Amino acid sequence: MAARTASMPALSDKQHRILDYLHEHASTQTYFKSRLIGEALGLSPKEVGTNMNAIQDSEGALSVEKWGYSSSTTWKVTR
C-alpha cells in the first residue's frame, strides 16, 4: 500500500483505502469506475463517489478528475 503522508491528514480511512487502491493501480490504468473500485474495496459506488470528491480536492501525487457518467461515474487518475 502507498505510504500516507502528513500533507493529507484530513482524509478519512475510507478515503485512504480508495487512495491506496488508486496508487496501486494507477501505473497500469488511467480510468476507474466508482462501481469497480467499490467492488474491490467492499464499498458502494455512491460511497466511492462521495469520497473521491475529497480525494480530488486533496494535495497528493495523483491527479483525480471526474470524467464520465455512463453506468457509473468514471474517474481519470494520473500521476
Q: What pLDDT was estimated at residue 59?
A: 81
Domain annotation for the chain: domains and CATH numbers: 13-78 (1.10.10.10)
Upper half-sphere CA count for residue 49 (Cβ side, 13 Å): 14
Please tell me the predicted confidence (pLDDT) of residue 22: 96
Please give the Cα distance from 26 to 71 (Å, whole number). 21
Q: Find the mean pLDDT for residues 30-42.
A: 96
Does 52 have pLDDT greater than 90?
yes
Q: Is the pLDDT of residue 8 over 50?
A: no
What is the pLDDT averaged over residues 69-78? 87
- Number of C-beta neighbours around residue 37 at 10 A: 24
Q: What is the mean pLDDT of the chain?
A: 87
Span 49-53, average pLDDT: 92
